[in-house]
Amino acid sequence: MSKSEIFVKAWALAKAGAARFGGSSKDYFAESLKIVYANSHVYVLDIQTSHNRPAWCARITGLSKHYGFKREFVGAYGSGRWSLKDGVYNYGRGKGDADNFVIVNKGKASFVYDDDVKLMFA
């Protein structure tokens, strides 16, 4: 998201805050800018899916003795498109495809191996 888009969204949010709670939109602009800026750093993960191999994505929150990683699934199973905020994610297509990992930091993605992720949570 460009700086001008961030500012346009921040002013719109500030105006909505002023309309709802009273006061001037200038009073709400600083907080609105923080909110919009925090939500502007997303990475869109797009995976090609098929009827036989629906896609899935999960945020990794730690290590698990039973499954290897503790995961929180993101969005709908099978969609193939997710907006990811900062964090470590595991994604794949169909059953048994769990060897894909991505680290998202400030809207930029780094694709890594499972050993790198295990070291992060060790």
pLDDT digits (tens, 9 = 90+) for 51-82: 777 888 999 999 999 988 999 999 877 778 88
Query: What's the total number of domains in the chain?
Result: 2
Q: Are residues 26 and 83 in the same domain?
A: no
Lowest-pLDDT range of 4-8, 22-26, 77-81, 86-90: 77-81
In whole angstroms, what is the distance from residue 120 CA to residue 53 CA?
Answer: 29
Predicted TM-score (pTM) of the model is 0.67
Q: Are residues 64 and 116 in the same domain?
A: yes
In whole angstroms, what is the distance from residue 76 CA to residue 104 CA?
Answer: 19
User: What is the DSSP secondary structure assignment for residue 65, as one 8-state letter?
Assistant: T
Q: Are residues 97 and 58 in the same domain?
A: yes
pLDDT digits (tens, 9 = 90+) for 34-55: 888 877 777 888 888 777 778 8
In whole angstroms, what is the distance from residue 39 CA to residue 99 CA?
Answer: 28
Q: Are residues 100 and 68 in the same domain?
A: yes
On whether the CB atoms of residues 82 and 75 are closer than 8 A, the answer is: yes
Structural domain span for residue 19: 3-38
